C-alpha cells in the first residue's frame, strides 16, 4: 500500500493505527479531534484506547428496543415532566434530602438547580427552565449514545402499532434472527467518540 501520510489528520490517524489498530479500525479516520483524544488517552493511561471503548456484546441473549420521538414532542414532554416534578413537591424533597446528599448526588440533574434556588441564587421560573433545558441536553446526549449501538431496534413511540411492532421484533429475536448481527456488532460499529472539551 501507499506509505502513511507524514502530516495533518492522516498522520495522526496513521499513528493511532500503528499504536492501537483495534481502536483505529472502529473509529472515523476523518475526525481529527477524536483521533487526538484517542492518542491522548493512550499517552495518559499507558493503555490502548480500545480498552476503554464501549463493547457491543451481550452477556446473555437479549433484544433491545428503542423508542424514538420527534424532537419537538420529546421537548414538550420534558417541559411537562419538569413542571409536574416541581408541582409534585420536588423542592420540598431536595430541602429534606439536602443534609444527606453526597457530592455526586448533590450534582445530579435538578438537585443543584434547586439548591441554588433554595439559597436565593435564582427564582423559581429560572430554576424550572434550567432543569428542563439541561434535561433536553441530556436526552440528546443519550440519544446520540444509544443511536450508535447497532443492536437497538428503533420504533416510533407514537405509532399506534407500537406494541405489535415490538412483539414482532421479539419473535424474530426468539428465533435467533438477530444472533449473527449481535455477535459481530463490535466489528462494524463506528465509534464517534465525544468531542474534546
Task: Give pLDDT, residue 190.
Answer: 52
Q: At 58, is the pLDDT very low, low, confident or very high (cuts 50, 70, 90)? A: low
Q: Determine the pLDDT at residue 62.
A: 80
Confidence of residue 57 (pLDDT cuts 50, 70, 90): low
Q: Is 18 exposed, middle or buried (0-12, 13-18, 19+ CB in 10 A)?
A: exposed
pLDDT exceeds 70 at position 6: no
Q: Are 178 and 140 in contact (CB under 8 A)?
A: no
Which of the four pLDDT bands, split at 50, 70 and 90, describes residue 191? very low
pTM above 0.85, yes or no: no
- Look at 12 and 190; give whichever has higher pLDDT: 12
More confident residue, 121 or 43: 121
Instruction: Say if residue 51's pLDDT is above 60.
Output: yes
Q: Tens digit of pLDDT for each residue in 90-146? A: 999 999 999 998 888 888 899 999 999 999 999 999 999 999 999 999 999 998 888
Amino acid at each position: 500500500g501507499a506509505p502513511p501520510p507524514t502530516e495533518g489528520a492522516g498522520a495522526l490517524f496513521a499513528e493511532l493505527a500503528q499504536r492501537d489498530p483495534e481502536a483505529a479500525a472502529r473509529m472515523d479516520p476523518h475526525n481529527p479531534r477524536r483521533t487526538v483524544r484517542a492518542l491522548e488517552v493512550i499517552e495518559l493511561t499507558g493503555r490502548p484506547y480500545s480498552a476503554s471503548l464501549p463493547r457491543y456484546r451481550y452477556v446473555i441473549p437479549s433484544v433491545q428496543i428503542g423508542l424514538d420521538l420527534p424532537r419537538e414532542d420529546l421537548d414538550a414532554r420534558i417541559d411537562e415532566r419538569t413542571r409536574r416534578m416541581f408541582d409534585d413537591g420536588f423542592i420540598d424533597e431536595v430541602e429534606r434530602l439536602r443534609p444527606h446528599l453526597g457530592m455526586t448526588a448533590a450534582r445530579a440533574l435538578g438537585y443543584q438547580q434547586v439548591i441554588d434556588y433554595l439559597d436565593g441564587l435564582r427564582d423559581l421560573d429560572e430554576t424550572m427552565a434550567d432543569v428542563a433545558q439541561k434535561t433536553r441536553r441530556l436526552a440528546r446526549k443519550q440519544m446520540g449514545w444509544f443511536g450508535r449501538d447497532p443492536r437497538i431496534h428503533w420504533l416510533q413511540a407514537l405509532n399506534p402499532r407500537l406494541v405489535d411492532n415490538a412483539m414482532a421484533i421479539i419473535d424474530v429475536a426468539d428465533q435467533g434472527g438477530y444472533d449473527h448481527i449481535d455477535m459481530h456488532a463490535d466489528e462494524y460499529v463506528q465509534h464517534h467518540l465525544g468531542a474534546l472539551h
